[in-house]
Amino acid sequence: MNPSAPAAAAKPRARKPPAPQEPARQIVVVDCGTSSVRAFIAEIRGAQQRILEDIHYPVNLTPTFTEAKLDRGAMDGLLHAFAGIEAVAKSYGARFLRAVATSVLREASNSDVMVEQIRSRLGLELEIIESAEESRLYFAALRQLVAKAKRRLSGNMLLIDVGGGSTSIGLIRGGKLVHSVDEHYGTARLCESFRDFTDSTDFCITIDRYSHGAVSMMLGRLPSTRVNHIIVTGSDVRRLHALLAPEAKGPIEPLDAGKVESWFARMRDLMPMARAKACNSDAQHASLLLPAASFIRHLCAQTGIDVVQVPQLTLRDGLMADLLPGAHGPHSLDSSHLTAEAEHLLRRYGGNSEYARNTAALALQIYDQTAELHHLGDRVRALLEFSALTHDIGSYLNVRNRHKHSMYIIQSADIAGLSSAEKIMVAHIARYHRRSPPQPHHQAFQSMPRRNRVIVAHCAAILRIAYALDVERTQRIRAVRCEVSRGQLLLHVDRRQIALEQWAVARKSEMFGEVFGLKVSVVPRSEE
Amino acid sequence: MDRRKTAIDPTVAQRYFNRESSWLAFNRRVLEEAQDEHKPLLERARFLAIVSSNLDEFVMVRLAELRALAKGQAVSVERATAEQAANDLSGTQKLMRSLVGDQYRCWREQLVPAFAQQGYAIVAPDAWRQEDRDTLRRLYHDQLEPMLTPLAVDPTRPFPLVANKGVNVAVQLETASGARRNALVSVPSANRVISLAAESGRFALVEDVVANFLDSLFPGYRIVNRCLFRVIRDGELDIDEEQTANLLSEIEQELQARQHGHVVRLEIDTRAEPTLRGWLLTSMEIDDADAFDIDGPLDLTFLFGYADKVNRPDLRDQQFPSVVYPTVWDNAFARIRQGEILLHHPYQSFQPVVDLVAQAAADPQVMAIKQTLYRVSGDSPIVRSLIQAARAGKQVTVLIELKARFDEATNIKWARRLEEAGAHVIYGLMRLKVHAKLLMIIRREDDGICRYVHIGTGNYNDKTARLYTDLSYMTCNEAVGRDVAALFNMLTGYSQPPEWERLAVAPLTLRKTFTQWIRREAEHAKAGRAGRIIAKFNALVDEQLCEELYAASAAGVEIDLIVRGMCILRPGVPGLSERIRVRSLVGRFLEHHRIYFFGNGGVPGQSIVAISSADWMTRNLDRRVECLVRIENADLQLRLMRLLEIYLEDNAHARVLLPDGAYRRLHPRAGEEALSSLEMLLHEAVAASGAGKKSDHTGMIFRPKSKHG
């Protein structure tokens, strides 16, 4: 209770009369982290969202970081937590809309077993999301929060989530999340990793040195950009903020880097009990503040930023933001965001951007003009564009087998806004832009769900045509008009001399013929 | 308030009154009600019975604990040494003797003659007429003797278990050869008062009948001596919650074991033959200090039954109709959505609360009911509704506190029945008693989920709600609903405690909240603004809060405390507590509500008005789950403030606590009108129930004074 809150007269609930076409739905979103499983039980009607309950259920999954798998206690704890949340949800007739787990389950080798147990016992689908999706969710939540708070954060921003098991940094440019990276730097993970030093001053120093390295590495993986704001989230960051700026109660509040610096210096020489006392906490929770503080301090030092912003938001807020009308939903960032991610990869691996952009443009022209044939939507279009932009980055390693290298690089890269399944798809679209089409012995391709295989096949078939249209890599053909006629796809181009392109398309269109059932011909301008 | 000067040194232990002494002082105030000749006779008898009942509980709990501390068998943060505990024990026993002496003097010298004047008497055996003897002998042989089991005590048969609180007869037997031995007979506890003849007004006590006719139980023996006695045992349950897999069965076992607890007090007929008395003390290992020689009937709680037998409404308080409010309550949910409701029991009926649960159980739109239960009645309509709801497939979650002292058996029974019906039953929390009174109903409505909340200061007990003053707050306020939902999640183990908007919860935030509120008043006073605290509750025994109050007083805060029972704070001491006034009200109803008011600088709309399940006791703040809710509805705030004012204006039933620990009864001064809070509240309740004077939508029965509105 906030004793300073004014005792204003409580008004009876004033809720607008319901819109008959939009009945209220009761839903549950869950976020499974390292130290707690948290849920919102909410009621939504259109753009109106009402949090009925905010549930925190403590679990301890920290040993997973050293054991690389969930032990029995952790699994029981998770099941118990989910069962508890389900019981509360039941009292509202709420249905589970989305339950996500982050780094700790990403890393646990037996997380599939856990997911299956939750599915079989409770009927819930627990989705293990990539860090890029975490970044996207935090960004979605941040946008909501900033809009509600009537704040404006202009310029380039780093959106950082310091979690229990990992930390992600998202780069926001022009109001869009354009890149994200993550690292196995988490408050609980570090305290667990360095627990042997807990009772010595080495504890703080070791965390601080590790933090220095982690920040350097993560910033180094981001495109070089001048940063105007740093926004830091995470439960330990919020606790640190509450400790250092207890008067700050707003939805997004500044935290002075100098304060963090001096607090960390004070903590450095303290033993756990003294630190706990100073933090008005228990020893364990006090320790968790150290990696959070150290990360902020190095971040500020390396970016030259004096003040970070700490918003009161959680991953669940991002899950809720996805439910707003007009939101694109899980894993969705607009295509310009994915384009920016692809451009970043292109630059990083020395790609020919003119060539890549033209190939992507041609692929999208064909995609758009054959929509009646494939009926694939905007999201797949964005995936195709990403693949088209990055299909050649494997040349950085070796021109031979570059299509396979492209696939490997894409799969290994930090890409904000793609789910793990989507990342596999774009990697395969890029992989099949040349040489062999998918074969029965291609295990990685065959292990994808059927629907995803179909999408990859369609997109790869289109990409192969676009690739063939610029085999010379001169961007000589920049536009194409598609016409379906007598079992053929006619590609009208504005050039007369196109023998090379016709030759190349003839060699690359076999897959298109198999997927779309059409032969492909390139029609020069003079034949029109 | 008496502000006479005292020689109290505020820097030493005299900062506080001894808590046991304070408790006994409370029971003395109850005794004074029995001694008050202006009160109706049967009410005086009831007060005398309450004194006995209170004392039994005091002995079973407080005295037993003090005894264990004094013997080094237990430790307590409140008493540093066993020696200190021994001193306190000795002082307490002395006060108890004095109290019991006065209690029986009241019985013999005041109530017995008063009853005789009305034509009623408890007839002692030596005054039985022949026809009485014949009637009682028949009754004994037909009905009592079959229930009796004589228990001989000799070297082969050790001293048997004597039931806690029961009345027994000890007899000394002699054979024809002159050999002597002793035996015991337990007296059946039901129906202690026997009518000697219809409409005669003459009664006998069952223990006298058994003691007089039990010779037939010992054929071949002559009864040389006989005496009545009674024991009180340590009532604490010894439960290791850490090691207990099944709390319910563990408590069941401990309830059995409670019958074997240490004897803390022996009451024995003052006419008992010395060797028989000595034998009882030796056999049960009782110190002489723990033996009380009683000149009168043992265990005066029989007076509850006696008053019923006499059945003379003219010798009782005037009955009044408890206002059923709201009068139209066929759709409780619609009614609560119109506006928050505050009921003041027993002036206003508890029935709306019972109805709310019943309607929830039957309502198809209700999805879940969550409730805490601490002390419920034996045949609780609320629990029956919960069972009905669970059977109807609603999600029913009940936290039933199995460790509720002396109500464990009832709660176990209900816990089993609720579980059988399919409710999710939680037996309580490890190391904490759940004392908060909470009910939440989750209902799906046209415009979404609505949570209906009831927060009480008293138990969900329809029987005691007729005798205890309590408050019921009903709301569907979003913030309150969210807080209560979170609290239930915490209680059911699903969730860590969150931050609270309208609630403060012990043991998490309640102490801190009270401390902050008191300190804020002190800050206001230091800054030259009005500092004001008014609080009404049952007991003040927490030293930390006392210190905060002393500091606030020193800072200039005006503090009025209305404390029914124990109060260790020493008020009115210059330099320590000169701005603190303490008054106590003991009367027709058990003053039970907890209301807290903090002026917050005297700015209109900024003051804090709250109700709670918690007293200012260390156990409430640190060892129990308690709940305080801030009332923000302006009408309800005014109503509670007016209620406090009425209690502060009372000059008829109130007693003020003096700096030396004595309580002085207030009387109207010359020319001053007598103001009885009880009568004012009764009058308003009756008026509100009359035609044309229905309460308005906020359920107000009091009109706020112009000062506030």
Residue A24 touches partner B, C-beta closer than 8 Å? yes
Partner-chain residue, chosen from A13, A45, A90, that has the shortest CB–CB distance to B478 = A13
- Whether residue A10 lies within 8 A of chain B, CB to CB, comes out as yes
Mean pLDDT of B199-225: 90
pLDDT at B294 over 60: yes
Q: Which of A10, A57, A91 sits opposite B477 (nearest CB)?
A: A10
Phi, psi of B598 (to 5 degrees): -125, 125
Q: Which whole-number Å values give the CA distances from B390 to B414, B426, B486, in the listed order?
A: 13, 15, 22
Q: Is A12 on the interface with B (CB under 8 A)?
A: yes
Percent of chain A with pLDDT over 70: 94
Catalytic residues of B: 435
What residues of chain A lie within 8 A of the CB of B599, using their CB?
none
Query: Residue B516 and residue A3: Cβ atoms within 8 Å?
Result: yes
pLDDT recorded at residue A28: 94
Closest CA to B212 of B142, B298, B124: B124
Asked if B513 lies within 8 A of A8 by C-beta distance, the reply is no
The C-alpha of A331 sits at a distance from chain B's nearest C-alpha, in angstroms, of: 29
Contacts of A174 (CB under 8 A, 6+ apart): none
Question: Which of B449, B501, B598 best tests the A interface by mutation, with the highest count of A CBs <10 A?
Answer: B449
CB distance A50–B448 less than 8 Å? Answer: yes
- What value does the mean pLDDT of chain A take? 88
Average pLDDT rounded to a whole number, residues B14-18: 89
Is the confidence at residue B544, as pLDDT, over 80? yes
Cβ contact (<8 Å) for B516 and A92? no
Q: Which residues of A touch B484 (CB under 8 A)?
A: none
Closest residue of B to A91, CA-based? B368
Residue A332 is predicted with a pLDDT of 56
- pLDDT, tens only, B165-202: 889 999 999 888 888 888 999 998 878 999 987 777 89
Give the pLDDT score at A8: 38
Q: Is the pLDDT of residue A18 over 90?
A: no
CB atoms within 10 A of CB B330: 9
Does the structure show a pLDDT above 80 at B406?
no
Bigger pLDDT: B566 vs A14: B566
- pLDDT of residue B699 exceeding 60, the answer is no
Which residues of B, range 328-357, sit inside 8 Å of A by Cβ?
337-340
Q: What is the mean pLDDT of residues B317-327?
A: 72
Q: Do the bridges between strand B532-537 and strand B558-563 make them parallel or antiparallel, or are there none, so unpaired? A: parallel
**For B365-392, what is each residue's pLDDT tens digit?**
999 999 998 877 777 899 999 999 999 9
Kindly tell me the burial class for residue A519, based on how many C-beta atoms sit within 10 Å of its own C-beta (0-12, 13-18, 19 or more). Answer: middle
Over the stretch A262-301, which tens digit does the pLDDT of each residue have?
A: 999 999 888 888 989 988 888 888 999 999 999 999 999 9
Q: Is B519 on the interface with A (CB under 8 A)?
A: no
Tell me if B513 and A3 make a contact (CB, 8 A cut-off).
yes
Give the pLDDT of residue B360.
96
Continuous segment of H or E residues that includes residue A502: helix A499-508
Residue A122 contacts B, CB cutoff 8 Å? no
Task: Please enumerate in sequence order all residues whose Cβ is within 8 A of that of B185, keeping only pairs 6 or more positions apart, or say none.
Answer: B148, B149, B150, B151, B168, B169, B171, B210, B214, B217
Name the closest residue on chain A to residue B341, using Cα atoms.
Answer: A12
Strands A488-493 and A519-523: parallel
Cα-Cα end-to-end distance for chain A = 78
Residues on chain B touching A17 (C-beta within 8 angstroms):
447
Q: What is the pLDDT of residue A107?
A: 86
Nearest to A57 among B424, B450, B495 (CB): B495
Q: Which residues of A are less than 8 Å from B609 in CB distance?
A: 7
B350-359, B488-497, B557-566, B573-582: segment of lowest average pLDDT: B488-497
Whether chain A has a CB inside 8 Å of the CB on B698: the answer is no
Model-level pTM?
0.81
Helix (H, G, I), strand (E, B) or coil at A431: helix
Unique residue bearing structure tokens 């009108």: B673
pLDDT digits (tens, 9 = 90+) for B442-484: 999 988 999 999 999 998 888 888 889 999 999 999 999 999 9
| Continuous H helices in B443-527 | 478-491, 510-526
User: Which two three-digit tokens encode residue B244?
Assistant: 């207990």
Q: For A10, which of B397, B499, B632 is closest by C-beta distance?
A: B632
**Structure-block tokens of residue B264:** 């803390």
B446 burial via Cβ count (<10 Å: 0-12, 13-18, 19+): exposed
Report the complex ipTM: 0.75
Distance from CA of B592 to the nearest CA of A (A): 24
Tell me what pLDDT residue B1 has: 39
Q: How far is A30 from chain B (nearest CA, A)?
A: 13
* CB–CB contacts below 8 A, A to B: 119
Residue B497 pLDDT: 64
Do the chains contact at B367 and A92, CB–CB below 8 Å? yes
- Quickly state the pLDDT bin for B210 (edges 50, 70, 90): very high
In chain B, the residue whose alpha carbon lies closest to the alpha carbon of A49 is B448
Does the pLDDT of residue A84 top 70, yes or no? Answer: yes
**Min Cα–Cα distance to chain B from A36, Å:** 9
Partner B contacted by A3 (CB < 8 A): yes
Q: pLDDT at residue B295 above 50?
A: yes
Q: Does B513 touch chain A (CB under 8 A)?
A: yes
A14 vs B: CB within 8 A: no
What pLDDT sits at residue B165?
87
Q: Which of residues 193-232 of B touch A (CB under 8 A)?
A: none
pLDDT band at B50 (very low <50, low <70, confident <90, very high): very high
DSSP assigned state of A413: S
- As a whole number of Å, the end-to-end CA separation of chain B is 27
d(CA B636, CA B477): 14
The per-residue pLDDT for range A157-203, each reduced to its tens digit, is 999 999 988 899 988 887 778 888 888 899 999 998 888 888 888 88
- The values of phi and psi at residue B364, to 5°, are -65, -20
Q: Does residue B29 register a pLDDT over 60?
A: yes
Taking CA atoms, B644 is separated from A491, B548, B611, B649, in Å, by: 89, 21, 12, 9
Interface list for B 561-620 with A (CB within 8 A): 600, 605-609
B371 interface with A at CB cutoff 8 Å: no
Q: Which of B551, B558, B636 is nearest to B595 (CA)?
A: B636
Contact A7 B444 (CB under 8 A): no
**B442 contacts chain A (CB < 8 A):** yes
pLDDT per position as a tens digit, B115-165: 999 999 999 999 999 989 999 999 999 999 888 888 888 777 778 888 888
Backbone angles phi, psi at A241, to 5 degrees: -65, -40
Minimal CA–CA distance to B513: which of B495, B526, B499, B532? B499
Mutate to test the interface with B, among A1, A2, A40, A52 (most CBs of B within 10 A): A1
Of chain B residues 238-267, which have a CB less than 8 A from chain A? none
pLDDT of residue B705: 29
Q: Which of B240, B298, B286 is nearest to B262 (CA)?
A: B286
pLDDT at B496 over 60: yes
CB–CB contact A57 B496 (8 Å): yes
Given CB atoms, is A15 within the 8 Å cutoff of chain B? yes
Residue B495: which of A1, A52, A55 has the nearest Cβ?
Answer: A55
Q: Is the pLDDT of residue B696 over 50?
A: no
Q: Does A45 touch chain B (CB under 8 A)?
A: yes
Residue B485 touches chain A, beta carbons under 8 Å: yes
* Cα gap A263→A289, rounded to integer Å: 10
Which of A336-340, B167-171, B677-681 has maximum average pLDDT? B167-171
B502–A45 C-beta distance less than 8 A: no
State the pLDDT at residue B292. 93
**DSSP assigned state of B142:** I
| Distance between B430 CA and the closest CA of chain A, angstroms | 17
Q: What sign results for the dihedral spanned by CA atoms B275, B281, B287, B289?
A: negative
CA–CA gap between residue A189 and residue A197 (Å, rounded): 14
